[in-house]
Structures are given as C-alpha cells and as structure tokens.
Amino acid sequence: GAGVSQTPSNKVTEKGKYVELRCDPISGHTALYWYRQSLGQGPEFLIYFQGTGAADDSGLPNDRFFAVRPEGSVSTLKIQRTERGDSAVYLCASSLSPGLPSSGANVLTFGAGSRLTVL
C-alpha cells in the first residue's frame, strides 16, 4: 500500500482481555518495528522484525506481549491479560531495509497508530 496501515485505530477493552493489533507495512519493506507511546511520552521501542523473524524483542515489557510476522509482511502484536497500564498508542513502522541511516535510504515510515484503552 501507499503507507503503513494499522488496525484498529481505536480499541477499548476490559482488564484481563486479549487484544490483537495489526500492522500492514509498505509493500516491499523488509523491516518492521513496533513502538509504544504513552501519554506525554515519546515512542518506546518494543520489537523489530527483519523478514519473518524477530531480530530484537528486547523492548517487550513482559511475556504478556508477543508479536508475529509469519509471511514477512503483515505483523500482529498480541497482548494477553491486558492491564490498565497497557493503555497507550501502539505505533508500527516499516523500512526498505535495516534502519541503518548511513545508507541514506533507510527511513522509518510510521503508521497512524492503534490507540488501546484498557478499562
């Protein structure tokens, strides 16, 4: 597609429920990133995929969070047993290749985000 698409744009759920957030990157982009942006904060890194594999998942806060990218394109961020503290905007970004800016061509393109509210 023309840009990074994230669905749903808004999700309200109850504490303890399971949530899935979807990211559809720009066609042909091999690298995909998930970030979380809490109110009044900058985006925080969660996980990075290169192709189908998670190259770095060190930002996932705990084992309730999991992400997949089975075919190297669409990715799903999964949150189990949601807590009120999970409320945030979840941002997805993609790039043509690993985000090494020295190449001059690697720019992260962000989606508009999925706003998650846990009641």
Partner 1 sequence: AQSVTQLGSHVSVSEGALVLLRCNYSSSVPPYLFWYVQYPNQGLQLLLKYTSAATLVKGINGFEAEFKKSETSFHLTKPSAHMSDAAEYFCAVTRFGNEKLTFGTGTRLTIIP
Nearer to partner 1, 35 or 82 (CB): 35
Q: Are 96 and 29 in contact (CB under 8 A)?
A: yes
Q: Which DSSP category does 70 fall into?
A: T
Q: Report which of 3, 1, 2, 5 is spatially closest to residue 75, judged by C-alpha positions.
A: 5
Q: Are 16 and 82 in contact (CB under 8 A)?
A: yes
Kindly indicate which of the ranges 13-21, 70-78, 80-88, 108-116 contains the residues binding partner 1, using the contact rule CB under 8 A.
108-116
How far is the C-alpha of 17 from the C-alpha of 8, rounded, in Å? 16
Q: Which of residues 53-92 bind partner 1 (CB under 8 A)?
A: 55-56, 59, 91
Nearer to partner 1, 24 or 82 (CB): 24
In this chain, which of 81, 112, 117, 119 binds partner 1, going by CB under 8 A? Answer: 112
Residues in touch with partner 1 (CB under 8 A): 3-4, 31, 33, 35, 40-45, 48, 55-56, 59, 91, 93, 98-102, 104, 107-113
